[in-house]
């Protein structure tokens, strides 16, 4: 099993509805080892679409899984998590498809640091801080 397979298994265990959300969007829920960034972006988009219908602890567990992998994976996997999964969530917040407080409440420190840096680069401010 690869790191990507482990991450997928843990995410789908935390939020089983992700498979359905991906399939409904025309995305393949099977991890693509040749395009992990793209696949993780699709997973992040699926989580953003389902987030407000999930129990907060399940949304939080999905983000805790991502945080653990972000902290313990190799550089290629960390890049895929950040530029795929986390940027999909950041895009959902800035596009008003995901409430910023929901994301801010559950992001781990490394994930939050990346989202804040991404927001600063793209928006000139954090989308997670109340304005």
Asked whether residue 78 carries a pLDDT value surpassing 80, the answer given is yes
Q: Over pLDDT 70: what percentage of the chain?
A: 98
* pLDDT at residue 118 in the model: 93
* pLDDT at residue 131 in the model: 60
Closest C-alpha to 80, from 41, 53, 116: 41
Does residue 129 lie in a domain region? no
How confident is the model over 66-90, as a mean pLDDT?
A: 97
- Long-range contacts formed by 14-19: CB under 8 A, 24+ apart: 14/58, 14/61, 14/62, 14/64, 14/65, 15/47, 15/50, 15/54, 15/58, 15/59, 15/61, 15/62, 17/50, 17/54, 18/43, 18/46, 18/47, 18/50, 18/62
pLDDT classification of 11: cutoffs 50, 70, 90? very high
Mean of per-residue pLDDT scores for the chain: 94
Does residue 130 lie in a domain region? no
Does residue 12 lie in a domain region? yes
Q: For the whole model, what pTM was predicted?
A: 0.93
DSSP state of 71: H
How confident is the model over 95-119, as a mean pLDDT?
A: 95
pLDDT classification of 52: cutoffs 50, 70, 90? confident
* pLDDT at residue 128 in the model: 86
Does residue 34 lie in a domain region? yes
Does residue 17 lie in a domain region? yes
**Domains of the chain: total:** 1
Give the model confidence (pLDDT) of 22-37 as tens digits: 999 999 999 999 999 9
Domain that holds residue 109: 3-123
């Amino acid at each position: 099993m690869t790191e990507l397979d482990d991450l997928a298994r843990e995410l789908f265990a935390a939020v089983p509805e992700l498979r359905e959300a991906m399939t409904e969007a025309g995305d393949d829920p099977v991890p693509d080892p040749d395009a992990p960034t793209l696949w993780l972006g699709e997973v992040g988009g699926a989580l953003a679409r389902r987030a407000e219908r999930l129990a907060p602890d399940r949304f939080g567990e999905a983000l805790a899984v991502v945080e653990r992998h972000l902290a313990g994976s190799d550089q290629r996997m960390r890049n895929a998590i950040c530029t795929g999964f986390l940027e999909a969530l950041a895009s959902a917040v800035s596009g008003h498809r995901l409430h910023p407080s929901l994301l801010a409440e559950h992001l781990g420190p490394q994930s939050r640091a990346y989202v804040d840096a991404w927001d600063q680069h793209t928006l000139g401010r954090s989308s997670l801080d109340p304005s």
